[in-house]
Amino acid sequence: MTEFWLISAPGEKTCQQTWDKLMTATTRTNNLSTNNKFNIPDLKVGTLDVLVGLSDELAKLDAFVESVVKKVAQYMADVLEDSRDKVQENLLANGVDLVTYVTRFQWDMAKYPIKQSLKNISEIVSKQVSQIDNDLKARASAYNNLKGNLQNLERKNAGSLLTRSLADIVKKEDFVLDSEYLITMLVVVPKTNYTDWQRTYETLAEMVVPRSTNLLFEDQESGLFTVTLFRKAIDDFRLKARENKFTVRDFQYNEEEMKADKEEMTRLSTDKKKQFGPLVRWLKVNFSEAFIAWIHIKALRVFVESVLRYGLPVNFQAMLLQPNKKNMKKMREVLYDLYKHLDSSAAAIIDQSAMDIPGLNLSQQEYYPYVYYKIDCNLLDFK
**In the chain, pLDDT over 70 holds for what percent of residues?**
92
**Residue 161 resides in a domain:** no
In terms of domains, do 210 and 144 share one?
Answer: no
Residue 10 has pLDDT above 50, yes or no: yes
In terms of domains, do 116 and 211 share one?
Answer: no
Could you tell me the pLDDT band of residue 325, with boundaries at 50, 70 and 90? confident
pLDDT digits (tens, 9 = 90+) for 99-139: 999 999 999 999 999 999 999 999 999 999 999 999 999 99
Least confident of 26-35, 128-137, 219-228: 26-35
Instruction: Work out the angle at residue 105's Cα, subtended by the Cα atoms of residues 102 and 107, and round it to the nearest 5 degrees.
Output: 140
**Residue 264 resides in a domain:** no
pLDDT at residue 257, rounded to an integer: 86
Domain count of the fold of the chain: 2
**Residue 381 resides in a domain:** no
Range of the domain at 193: 172-252
pLDDT digits (tens, 9 = 90+) for 47-66: 999 999 999 999 999 999 99
In terms of domains, do 127 and 185 share one?
Answer: no
CA 67 to chain centroid: 11
Residue 180's contacts (CB-CB under 8 Å, 6 or more residues apart) are none
In terms of domains, do 240 and 302 share one?
Answer: no
In terms of domains, do 114 and 70 share one?
Answer: yes
**Residue 156 resides in a domain:** no
Q: Can you spell out the DSSP letters for 165-220?
A: --TTT--GGGS--S-SSEEEEEEEEEGGGHHHHHHHGGGSSTTBPTT--EEEEE-S
pLDDT at residue 19, rounded to an integer: 96
Q: In whole angstroms, what is the distance from residue 375 CA to residue 291 CA? A: 11
**Residue 383 resides in a domain:** no
Could you tell me the pLDDT band of residue 1, with boundaries at 50, 70 and 90? low
- Beta-strand relationship, 182-190 and 371-376: unpaired
Q: In whole angstroms, what is the distance from residue 235 CA to residue 260 CA? A: 30
pLDDT digits (tens, 9 = 90+) for 189-202: 999 999 999 999 99
Most confident of 84-98, 128-142, 156-170, 348-362: 128-142
pLDDT at residue 239, rounded to an integer: 96
In terms of domains, do 145 and 20 share one?
Answer: yes
pLDDT at residue 165, rounded to an integer: 85
In terms of domains, do 136 and 209 share one?
Answer: no
Q: In whole angstroms, what is the distance from residue 75 CA to residue 379 CA? A: 11
* Structure-model confidence comparison of residues 356 and 118, the more confident one: 118
In terms of domains, do 340 and 281 share one?
Answer: yes
Tell me if the pTM is above 0.75. yes
Q: In whole angstroms, what is the distance from residue 375 CA to residue 6 CA? A: 7
Neighbouring-strand partners of residue 371: 8
CATH code for position 185: 3.30.70.100
pLDDT at residue 349, rounded to an integer: 52
In terms of domains, do 142 and 286 share one?
Answer: yes
Most confident of 92-96, 264-268, 326-330: 92-96
Mean pLDDT of 340-363: 56
Residue 328 has pLDDT above 50, yes or no: yes
pLDDT at residue 347, rounded to an integer: 56
Least confident of 155-159, 172-176, 276-280, 355-359: 355-359
**Residue 261 resides in a domain:** no
Nearest CA to 140 out of 273, 264, 269, 280 is that of: 280
Number of H helices, E strands in the chain: 10, 8
Report the half-sphere exposure of 361 (CA within 13 A, side-chain side): 2
* Structure-model confidence comparison of residues 125 and 383, the more confident one: 125
Could you tell me the pLDDT band of residue 245, with boundaries at 50, 70 and 90? very high
In terms of domains, do 84 and 52 share one?
Answer: yes
In terms of domains, do 287 and 247 share one?
Answer: no
Q: In whole angstroms, what is the distance from residue 100 CA to residue 93 CA? A: 9
CATH code for position 346: 1.20.1460.10
8 A C-beta contact, residue 186 and residue 224: yes
**Residue 229 resides in a domain:** yes
pLDDT digits (tens, 9 = 90+) for 120-131: 999 999 999 999
Amino acid 192 reads T
8 A C-beta contact, residue 239 and residue 224: no
In terms of domains, do 49 and 142 share one?
Answer: yes
Question: Sheet harboring 214-218: ordered strands across?
Answer: 214-218, 222-230, 182-190, 247-249
Least confident of 284-288, 322-326, 348-352: 348-352
Could you tell me the pLDDT band of residue 357, with boundaries at 50, 70 and 90? very low
**Residue 382 resides in a domain:** no
Residue 315's contacts (CB-CB under 8 Å, 6 or more residues apart) are 10, 11, 15
